[in-house]
């Protein structure tokens, strides 16, 4: 099997699964319980929190455990909006955000908030001038994705963050779900909130992390026992939390030793795919090393996906969260791509486990599939 859909989810490390199983079996007490067994579990949660904080170079009391990237984004965006709405009701984001962010903003619009959706250039970047012009005294939050999950464009987070801090009192939220371990997040200390999801770095689904700078207050979306410093109530998913800490440590170790390899594979694939006459590359230059987006105009992407699937090769069209909609990708259309081209887009996404042999086989089978499908259409 050749799995090239790692932006949708990654294969969990064996060590992560074992850590989950052992914790679930041996440490099943509630960490809020006062007895010894509860104390043992609470220590595991504290150790995992400290480990993750150390790996992210933040303090342990700035780590909030969530159920994944969607909840982290919702908590950051809605939590900030509700908590600070007395200062203003203006929010800023971009036109190419993940569905979990976009739908959060659309919901807030229905509740009386005003949202500015910043355009992007063909490189997928938000303009510093556009951002500066959009900021007002009423702006309480700016939320931007670091690495785009469909095309791999990388926002200049440091520069944009400095614009925000120099021109407003707005909080800055960064969705780093696709960037962690692949593209260093250079926020220059300007990010107040950062979202992560465990299953994007070989952890388990249903686990996420939100970095919340210590003096930032959020309105909790879940009420209850006051877990996670009263920001996110609910009995902790202790096996998932322990497994997340294990996954992040292993993943970042692998990132250090495999970054050159994944950059090499991406360059090779871009050159080879771009040389196919029927193909148009959508991924901008200087993009993340693990995502390649291209179109084969005239061929429905689902047909090409299933043709590759017959060869045990797995790719996708766009974000898994949006793959079932018939509408063209909002990310590609925001980049100026035509609807026809956007509707025929294919995304391949690599991991540090992807081999050169995988890429060679994929290229051979892609060319065969395109040729075969074009012949059938004549």
Q: In this predicted structure, what is the pLDDT of residue 141?
A: 98
CA torsion angle 251 256 261 264 (round to 10) = 110
Q: In this predicted structure, what is the pLDDT of residue 256?
A: 87
- Is 253 one of the annotated active-site residues of the chain? no
Give start and end residues of each alpha helix (H) in the chain: 14-26, 36-56, 69-84, 99-110, 128-134, 157-167, 238-274, 301-309, 330-334, 339-343, 356-377
What is the DSSP secondary-structure string of 40-106? HHHHHHHHHHHHHHHHHTS-GGGEEEESSHHHHHHHHHHHHHHHHTTT--EEEEETT--HHHHHHHH
Q: In this predicted structure, what is the pLDDT of residue 374?
A: 81
Q: In this predicted structure, what is the pLDDT of residue 327?
A: 79
| Mean pLDDT per 10-residue interval, the chain, length 378 residues | 98 98 97 95 98 97 98 98 98 98 98 98 96 98 98 97 97 98 91 98 98 97 94 97 98 93 96 95 95 95 96 85 68 93 96 97 96 78
Lookup: tokens for 46: 């504290």
Lookup: tokens for 67: 């159920």
Lookup: tokens for 94: 């971009």
Residue 139 DSSP one-character state:
E
Architecture of domain 2-8+258-377: Alpha-Beta Complex (3.90)
Q: In this predicted structure, what is the pLDDT of residue 324?
A: 54
Q: In this predicted structure, what is the pLDDT of residue 72?
A: 98
Phi, psi of 171 (to 5 degrees): -75, 155
Q: In this predicted structure, what is the pLDDT of residue 310?
A: 97
CATH number of 14-249: 3.40.640.10
Question: Catalytic pick from 321, 361, 363, 373?
Answer: 321
Domain ranges of the chain: 2-8+258-377, 14-249
């Amino acid at each position: 099997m050749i799995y090239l859909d790692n932006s949708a989810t990654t294969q969990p490390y064996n060590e992560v699964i074992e850590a989950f199983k052992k914790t679930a079996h041996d440490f099943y007490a509630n960490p809020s319980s006062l007895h010894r067994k509860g104390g043992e579990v609470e220590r595991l949660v504290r150790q995992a929190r400290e480990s993750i904080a150390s790996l992210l170079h933040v303090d342990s009391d700035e780590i909030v455990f969530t159920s994944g990237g969607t909840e982290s984004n919702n908590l950051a965006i809605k939590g900030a909006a509700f908590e600070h709405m007395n200062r203003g009701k203006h929010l800023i984001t971009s036109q190419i955000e993940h569905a979990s962010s976009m739908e959060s903003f659309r919901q807030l619009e229905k509740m009386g908030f005003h949202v500015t959706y910043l355009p992007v250039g063909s490189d997928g970047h938000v303009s510093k001038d556009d951002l500066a012009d959009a900021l007002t005294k009423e702006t309480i939050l700016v939320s931007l994705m670091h690495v785009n999950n469909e095309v791999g464009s990388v926002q200049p987070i440091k520069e944009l963050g400095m614009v925000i801090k120099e021109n407003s009192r707005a909080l800055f939220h960064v969705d780093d779900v696709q960037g962690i371990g692949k593209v260093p997040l250079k926020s220059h200390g300007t990010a107040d909130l950062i979202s992560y999801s465990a299953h994007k770095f070989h952890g388990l689904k249903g686990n996420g992390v939100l970095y919340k700078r210590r003096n930032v207050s959020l309105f909790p979306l879940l009420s209850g026992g006051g877990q996670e410093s009263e920001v996110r109530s609910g009995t902790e998913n202790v096996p998932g939390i322990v497994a997340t800490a294990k996954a992040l440590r292993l993943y970042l170790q692998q990132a250090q030793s495999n970054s050159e390899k994944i950059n090499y594979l991406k360059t090779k694939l871009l050159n080879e795919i771009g040389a196919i006459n029927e193909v148009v590359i959508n991924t901008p230059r200087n993009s993340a090393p693990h995502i390649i987006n291209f179109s084969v105009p005239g061929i429905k992407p689902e047909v090409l996906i299933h043709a590759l699937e017959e060869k045990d090769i797995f790719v996708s069209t766009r974000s898994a969260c949006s793959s079932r909609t018939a509408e063209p990708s909002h990310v590609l259309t925001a980049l100026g791509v035509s609807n026809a081209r956007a509707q025929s887009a294919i995304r391949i996404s690599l991991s540090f486990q992807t081999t050169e042999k995988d890429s060679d086989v994929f290229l051979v089978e892609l060319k065969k599939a395109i040729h075969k499908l074009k012949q059938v259409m004549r």
